[in-house]
Amino acid sequence: MPKFKYTAIDQNGKQKSGSIDASNQDDASAKLSGMGLMPTQIAEAGGSSKASSKKAVKGKAKKGGFGKVIKPEDLTTFTRQLATLLQAGLPLLRAIEVMIRQERNLRFKAVLEQIADQVKSGNSFSDGLAQHPKTFDRLFVNMVRAGEAGGVLDVVLSRLAGFMEKALKTKKKVKSAMVYPIVVVGVAVSIVALLMVVVVPKFQTIFDDMLEGAALPGPTQLVIGISNFMRDNILVTVGLVVALVFGVKFALKTGPGAKLFNWCSINLPKVGDLVRKVNIARITRTFGTLLSSGVPILQSLTITKDITSNAFYMNAISRIHDSVRDGESLAAPMERESVFPNMVTSMVDVGEETGELAEMLNRIADNYDEDVDNAVAGITSIIEPVMIVFLAVVVGFIVIALFLPIVEIIKQLTG
């Protein structure tokens, strides 16, 4: 197996050199990354360096533009590692080239190569990022632009990485809370479908033979009617389910539908509490991170509004933006908005008075992140019994509907 000489940076920012056995330069880069090292140069002993094969790699990346999608996890890792390289003293272009060499996602690699070309041509890093809005959103671009202007790009990238890591953590917690109810609903639908298509028709045959055309109880007629419709119109049933799913999605995209969903999401018991805390944590974290990175307050409010998905919070931030633009402090218009609790507005007021607004906003976000953990745990503990009762009611209704005629049959036999 060939031997490769390398120069790399460890997790403490120190430069290390050595050699490693690998099948090729990409394999050597992967092995070094697995050892916690970030390679800056790899060369085969007696051969050409990794940098010399950049054209081949670049061609491969562009050809692989239809590779894996760029996940938030990929972007977070890139941001953290790029910040580490810059803090270790590497020039920006060199740091980007290091990230290109070790990137395994060909689509992301192609994006980074285009950004590197922009930097080589004399454009700023933020200008290169702005050309890829699907990968780097306005929050990312504007924070980088502020970091470039203040000469603290490494610090800003480190803050941005921390922001993204916490956002991912919160998102995963909320998703994990939704797994159980989705599984239970899926099981319930499967059981009901099995009962309707397989079990109910067999009971119907028994009723026809034993009751000799006598009228069935109302619940039984309803269950048998639904069963017959599902068996005789399988394609129509599937079509109705699909139409319902897409109909709900379409309704949520319309103004009234989205407004109703947003209202329900923040007013439902328990769930609304979680949604409000997630929104406040995201808003304060984004706003505080932008301010601490040097982005002007009005621009920070605009970007924060853009990353907010709930219309009630978007409208509130828009009104706050207009008030601040007209000369008001931040706390005063925020206090007029019912979506922000008194604790939040009080801490913002203190932050403005002490000149530590960005720090106070991040502290609010930390507090609400902890509250999100507790809210998720509370919802999870409630969802389990609720789902069990829901499943019991649905299946129980079908079973009772099927056993009501059996009671009549037993009466006839014993009479």
Report d(CA 7, CA 13) in Å as an integer: 12
User: What is the DSSP code (8-state) at residue 16?
Assistant: E
Q: pLDDT digits over 263-318, tens only?
A: 888 888 878 888 898 889 889 988 888 888 888 898 889 888 887 888 899 999 99
230 and 279 Cβ atoms separated by less than 8 Å: no
* Paired tokens of 367: 């507090």
Report d(CA 131, CA 121) in Å as an integer: 14
- Fold of the 3-136 domain: Receptor-associated Protein (1.20.81)
- 3-state class (DSSP) for residue 212: coil
Report d(CA 8, CA 19) in Å as an integer: 11
Phi/psi for 377 (5° steps) reads -60, -40
Q: pLDDT digits over 33-88, tens only?
A: 667 666 666 777 765 444 333 333 344 434 344 445 788 888 999 999 999 999 88
Of residues 266, 53, 75, 291, the one with CA closest to residue 164: 75
Query: What is residue 48's predicted lDDT score, i.e. its pLDDT?
Result: 44
Walk along the chain (415 residues) and give the pLDDT tens digit of each residue. 788 888 776 655 566 788 888 877 767 776 776 676 666 667 777 654 443 333 333 444 343 444 457 888 889 999 999 999 998 888 999 999 999 988 888 889 999 999 999 899 888 898 899 889 888 988 888 888 888 877 888 888 988 888 888 888 878 877 777 787 788 778 888 888 888 888 888 888 888 777 766 778 888 889 888 888 888 888 888 888 889 888 888 887 777 888 888 888 888 887 888 889 888 988 998 888 888 888 889 888 988 888 788 889 999 999 999 999 999 999 999 999 999 999 999 999 999 999 899 999 989 988 888 888 788 777 777 877 888 888 888 888 888 988 888 887 777 667 5
Indicate if 174-415 has the same CATH topology as 3-136.
yes
Of residues 163, 99, 90, 167, the one with CA closest to residue 128: 99
Query: What is residue 53's predicted lDDT score, i.e. its pLDDT?
Result: 36
Which residues touch 45 (CB under 8 Å, ≥6 apart)? 2, 3, 4, 5, 19
One-letter-per-residue 3-state SS of 89-157: CCCHHHHHHHHHHHCCCHHHHHHHHHHHHHHHCCCCHHHHHHCCCCCCCHHHHHHHHHHHHHCCHHHHH
CATH architecture of 174-415: Up-down Bundle (1.20)
CA 114 to chain CA centroid, Å, is 26
Report d(CA 248, CA 206) in Å as an integer: 39
Domain boundaries, the chain: 3-136, 174-415
Of residues 159, 380, 181, the one with CA closest to residue 290: 159
Q: What is the pTM of this model?
A: 0.63
Report d(CA 376, CA 212) in Å as an integer: 55
